[in-house]
Structure 1
Amino acid sequence: MSTAEDSKLIYYVKKWVNITKDDEAAILSAFEQATIRKKKDLLVPGEVCKYNYFIVNGCMRTFYIDEKGVEHIYHLRFDNNWIGDLESFFSQKPSKYYIEALEDTHYIRISKERLDKLYDEVPAFDRYFRILFQKAYVNALKRLNANMWEPAIDRYNDMLREHPDMFQRVPLAYIASYLGITPESLSRIRKKNNK
């Protein structure tokens, strides 16, 4: 990997755990670089999620389509974020989700087998992933609670604080789906906020 990718992944690992130069080399050698074009699928329902992905730069979404043909967006992920179907990845059972690139995206990926070996080689990386999973679990609960109890305008404002450039990068219909509201409701909220 080039220096830019090295520094991005290692920077985010070092935010949570201490690693040596040897650890850095072991971590980086476990990942493969790849790119995907806008509108292409990284994963489709029925496939096993064979990799966990770190987005170096770009944007992706995880979604499913219900029995009525309606899309429901589960994740929107941007630069320096992880994406994958962890249930499928760890169980090695078929996924229920699509993962689609919303922009031309450069990412690095690690297989389950290689990740398991890396946990043994670099115990700090095992701790790093444990911290990530805990944060992901807490965030999933917060999002579930927000969708049940918080007004849509509060969810919208929280999203804007976290990702101020989202409206430049993600279609409005996808943002509405992610927030669990209709595109019309999103338009009303945006008009109200812009007054």
Structure 2
Amino acid sequence: MEEEYFLSLLEYKNIKRGGLLLEAGRISKVLSFVTKGCLRTFSTQENGIEHILTFAPENWWCSDTLSFNTNAAANYSIDALEDTEMLQITRDKIEVLYEKVPKFERFFRILFQNGFIMQQQRISSELELTAHQKYLKFEQLYPGLEKRIAQNYIASYLGITPVFLSMLRKRK
């Protein structure tokens, strides 16, 4: 019954490859669970250079967490790297869910905590690991994703050039 209620609050959405789910500066109104495809969360500098914060392949949740939880303007954009299908829930519906089924409040608290921990680990990796070690960690975190998305996205995520990424992959 609780699971059915939760599922009744979710809305199905699909987005074509290249489609924009969230634009930086707008408010993130939904939390998305990817069932098929892959999203990326990224920022864009004034000169047009993009920096990828994270990927969201199947079974990952995705949002600009700060914007979603505080109703502030998003710092990041989110788009689809593949045709993507997802289930979405709004902040208002999550609040109702917390009241009606309190165990979901714990579920989402743990989800957000794990996301925070993942971001801290990513920052530490940026500061402490070599490019080769970062790539190995990427493969561990996102198994098989390197076969599905363009090399330039992986290079952006790792903070290296696509040419250097190509050299790393040959070394492996």
- Aligned with 2:134 (options 152, 155, 162): 155
Match runs of 1:92-131 below 5 Å: 92-131=71-110
Larger radius of gyration: 1
Cα separation, 2, equivalents of 1:97 and 1:24:
31
Match runs of 1:32-71 below 5 Å: 32-71=11-50
Count, aligned residues: 172
- Aligned with 1:145 (options 117, 121, 124): 124
Residue ranges of structure 2 left out of the alignment (5+ in a row): none
1:79 aligns with 2:55: no
Please give the TM-score of this superposition, normalised by the length of structure 1: 0.85
Residue aligned with 1:189, SS: helix
Cα separation, 2, equivalents of 1:59 and 1:155:
20
Cα separation, 2, equivalents of 1:171 and 1:74:
16
- In the TM superposition, what is the alpha-carbon distance from 1:89 to its structure 2 partner? 0.9
Cα separation, 2, equivalents of 1:165 and 1:79:
11
- The answer to whether the 8 Å contact 1:64/1:98 transfers is yes
Please give the TM-score of this superposition, normalised by the length of structure 2: 0.96
1:134 aligns with 2:93: no
Cα separation, 2, equivalents of 1:104 and 1:40:
9
- Aligned with 1:186 (options 149, 165, 169): 165
Residue aligned with 1:79, SS: coil
- The answer to whether the 8 Å contact 1:26/1:121 transfers is no
- In the TM superposition, what is the alpha-carbon distance from 1:109 to its structure 2 partner? 0.5
User: What is the RMSD of the two structures over their aligned residues, measured on CA atoms?
Assistant: 1.0
Higher deviation after alignment, 105-114 or 181-190? 181-190
| Percent of residue pairs bearing the same amino acid type | 37
- In the TM superposition, what is the alpha-carbon distance from 1:119 to its structure 2 partner? 0.7
